[in-house]
Amino acid sequence: MRRILKASILCLAAGVLNACSPEEVTITEDIPTAGVRFIHAVPDTGAMDMRPVDIVENSTFYGVGFRGTSLLFYKNARAGSRHFRIFMSGTTQAVASTVVKDTTVTLEAGHRYTFILWGFARPGSNPGMKLDIIDDNPADPGANVALRIVNAGAGLGAIDGRFYTTGGTPPTAASWAAVPELTASAYVSTAPGSIRYNVRTAGSATNLFADATALAGVAASVDLEAQPGTTIAGSAVSGFVFPRSVAGSTAANFTTPGIIFVWDRRPPRAPGL
């Protein structure tokens, strides 16, 4: 009985020591990151993959087709000097190992970047396919929203873009005049609201396609951040104008030019969220 009592006291003492010892603290690395997204605007070729080849991280975009919309969001990538490659997307090694573009870029922490592949892939076509990296960091529009148009329309020539409030009519003067193909316009600041884009060949009165309503966004709720869009102050939104597909090519089939909207800047986080 005395041995059992001694053993119990020893166990109790050991438990007290363990309870009083400080908890172990695991320090994780605070990795500076940037946002990256990939847009496929080549109208005469099939789907592609973009991925980093220097380190393993979740900044890979798989199976992105021409005018694809399923992966049009930013993914976090480690900041600094980075090495990315774009491959043809396929299930066979011969296709999936085909390098389309290879680039090294310096990503600045806190910035967001659009990797856009545009132009024609077929030899002898003009403009030829190229990769551009756009630093998507507009100034804070404050109580307004920032709007931009990007002419990804290989073969469309320069375009005029107009924006107006839903229910109104396009203004006489272009909001973005004669934006060259494969070029992004400057941002324009305007009051938040439901916004429509009107796009024409530069100097023309004929629309390239039916006017389209821009990404609207969603207001913040009690426990959710606001989703960026033209109705949410502090947001920045871009409209990417795409050409039609080249007939007979492996690109996804689009018979007319069109526009896709994406956000470039989130509104500030509301207090308490």
30-137: CATH, from 2.40.480, 2.60.40, 1.20.272, 3.30.1330: 2.60.40
Amino acid letter, residue 9: I
Q: Are 179 and 228 in contact (CB under 8 A)?
A: no
One digit per residue, pLDDT tens: the chain, 273 residues? 444 445 444 444 445 445 555 566 665 667 999 999 999 999 999 999 999 999 999 999 999 999 999 889 999 999 999 999 999 998 888 888 899 999 999 999 999 999 999 999 999 999 999 999 999 999 999 999 999 999 999 999 999 999 999 999 999 999 999 999 999 999 999 999 999 999 999 999 999 999 999 999 999 887 788 899 999 999 999 999 999 999 999 999 999 999 999 999 998 876 554
- pTM given for the model: 0.87
CA distance 253 to 44: 10
Side chain identity at 8, as an amino acid letter? S
Q: Hey, what are 186's tokens?
A: 């400057």
Radius of gyration in angstroms for the set of CA atoms belonging to the chain, rounded to a whole number: 26
First to last CA, the chain: 60
Name the 3-class secondary structure at 83: strand
Positions of CATH 2.60.40 in the chain: 30-137, 140-273
Whether residue 127 has a cis bond before it, omega within 30° of 0: yes
* Structural domain 140-273, CATH architecture: Sandwich (2.60)
Strand partners, 40: 117
Per-residue model confidence (pLDDT) at position 92? 86
Phi and psi at residue 8, to the nearest 5°: -65, -40
Tell me what the pLDDT averaged over the chain comes to.
90
Supply the pLDDT for residue 76.
97
- The CA–CA distances, whole Å, from 46 to 2, 62, 74, 101, 158 equal 82, 12, 22, 14, 25
With H, G, I as helix, E, B as strand and everything else as coil, classify residue 205. coil
H helix or E strand, kind and range, residue 104 = strand 99-107
pLDDT for 1 equals 45
Report which residue type is found at 48: M
